[in-house]
Structure 1
Amino acid sequence: MSIMAKVIERVLEKRHREYVDDAEKARKHMQERSLEEDEPYKIPKMIYHTKVESKDLFGCQIVTFNDNENSEYLVIYLHGGIYVNEIRLPHILFCDKLAKKINGSVFAPVYPLAPNHTYEESYEIVEKLYDYLLTMDKPVIIMGDSAGGGFSAAFCEYLATNDMPQPKNLILISPWVDVSMSGNYDEVEFDPMLGVDGLREMGKAWAGELDSKDYKISPLFGEVKKLPKTTLFVGTHEILYPDIVKFHDKLKDNCVDAELIVGKEMTHVYAVYPLMPEAKEALNHIVKTIKDYNK
């Protein structure tokens, strides 16, 4: 575990534990977020590796990276944030680096969030974006982190249920695959960022009238046999670790080409954070996975 990884763990513990480990505080956080949720996202002013733009597509603000006709790959990136928090700088920096390394175009929807919205609007937006990218005759990759990782997996199960084509790759970074948080998490050594009760509360808001165990919310309980090549990343220092291992095992049991990369003593979505050597290794692995599989 690198020094930078330890520093990030300490920062996360101070910023997130309160409202993700307590249902009442989670409800208060959602009330506060509801006041700003529908404000347009402003791209941070930085020096980027690619052209980073904000576009209005299919009724949704979408941040695009390296969107040009010469790109070799098309990536839909669904950001994490417990289905409540907006896309953040680490996501932007990660997508920018990914687009550069694969010479691809990355599309990151600023999709509608709870508590003002439920899953339904976001599914409609992502489906329209996916259909649009399929017409370009290039490899399409769907990926996401945390809630966005769960959304990515659930969306691919939705595609399978509706006999729609799968993407070439599904890449999941610490995916939230059981939004109901129904598992046994006692075996997790330590998680500086996430808790059970707060997550469960925010997950209910995203699910709306659906049961939190419906596959469109919690892909752990869905049909997986038609999913594409799937690569999963998880750290042993995260509450979601047992559920992600279960999901990987389910993929393997259903003969899906699946790979699980476990970061020892790594925290939630470690692959996305800048400046960590472990994150650099993870990004390089993702790039290699995309390039090697889609030759």
Structure 2
Amino acid sequence: MSKMSKIVEFALEKKHPKYFDGVSEARKHLEKRSLEEDEPYKIPKRIYHTKVESKDLFGCQMVLFNDVEDSERLVIYLHGGIYVNEIVLPHITFCDKLAKNANACVYAPIYPLAPNHTYEETYGIVEKLYKQLLTIDKPITIMGDSAGGGLAVAFCEYLAVNDLPQPENLIGISPWIDISMSGDYDEVEFDPIGGIDSLREMGKAWAGDLDLKDYRVSPLFGDVTKLPKTTLFVGTHEVLYSDMQKFYKKLTDSDVDVELNIGEGMNHVYPIYPLVPESKEAFKHIVDVILNQD
């Protein structure tokens, strides 16, 4: 664990959001987000490595990095935020760097969020996007972080259920794979975020009428046998660590081509923190996977 990662962990602990402090605070946050969620996302003004633009596709705002015609690969990036919070600058800068280094056109849907929306609308949007990208005949990677990582995994399970082709790669950065939070989390050494009850409350809003253990919202419980090459990242200092260990075993037992990268002493979604040395190593590995150079 590097000195910089310790600094980041300290900062995360100090900036601990109140909505992780229990069901009551989570509900307050959901109420607040219900008034903000449908506002259009504005791309931050800064210098980017690639062409970055906003487009409306399939009734959804999407941020695109790189031109499709000039790119050799395609990436669908699903951002995290407990299915409630919008995309943030670290996601944007990560996608920008990824598009440049992997020579890829990256699509980042600003997908509908809870509590105003449920998983169902987003599935329709991502499916239409994916089917369109299949017609371009370039290697596709589906990936995401946290909630978006869980969505990426679940969507690939959904593709299998519906007899649709899998992408070349599935990459999950600390994917949230059980929104019911039904596991045993007592052995987690330390997590500056935490909030099991709060997470479950956010998950309920996203699931709508679905059972919280339905694979479409909790892919830990789905059929994984047809998943593509899968690359996972998780830190030992995050509450989702034990779920990821279960999921990795399930994939290996099902003979899925899977790799689990464990960040010792690292926090949730550590690969997207740009100043942490461990994140730079993880980023390079992600690029190598997409380039098929791992």
Q: Establish whether residue 273 from structure 1 lines up as the match of residue 273 from structure 2.
A: yes
CA distance in 2, matches of 1:263, 1:88: 23
Q: Report the equivalent of 1:137.
A: 137
| Aligned amino acid, residue 230 of structure 1 | T
SS of residue paired to 1:205: helix
| Aligned amino acid, residue 65 of structure 2 | F
Q: Establish whether residue 96 from structure 1 lines up as the match of residue 96 from structure 2.
A: yes
CA distance in 1, matches of 2:258, 2:58: 32
C-alpha displacement of 1:10 = 1.9
CA distance in 2, matches of 1:281, 1:173: 13
Q: How does 1:81-230 map to 2 (within 5 A)?
A: 81-230=81-230
SS of residue paired to 1:185: coil
Which segment is superposed worse, 211-220 or 14-23?
14-23
Q: Which runs of 4+ in 1 moved over 4 A?
A: none
Question: Where do 5+ consecutive residues of structure 1 fail to align?
Answer: none
The question of whether the paired residues in 2 share the 8 Å contact of 1:21 and 1:199 is answered with no
Q: Report the equivalent of 1:72.
A: 72
C-alpha displacement of 1:293 = 5.9
Q: Report the equivalent of 1:243.
A: 243
Q: Report the equivalent of 2:3.
A: 3
RMSD of the TM alignment (CA)? 1.1
CA distance in 1, matches of 2:17, 2:197: 11
CA distance in 2, matches of 1:28, 1:214: 26
* CA offsets 1:147-186 (integer angstroms, 9 cap, x no match): 0000000000000000000000000000000100000000
Q: Report the equivalent of 2:51.
A: 51
* CA offsets 1:92-142 (integer angstroms, 9 cap, x no match): 000000000011000000000000000000000000000010000000000
TM-score by length of 1: 0.98
C-alpha displacement of 1:15 = 2.7
CA distance in 2, matches of 1:258, 1:247: 10
CA distance in 1, matches of 2:214, 2:19: 24
C-alpha displacement of 1:273 = 1.0
CA distance in 2, matches of 1:15, 1:34: 22
The question of whether the paired residues in 2 share the 8 Å contact of 1:17 and 1:192 is answered with no
C-alpha displacement of 1:245 = 1.0
C-alpha displacement of 1:3 = 2.2
Which segment is superposed worse, 3-12 or 280-289?
3-12
C-alpha displacement of 1:276 = 1.1
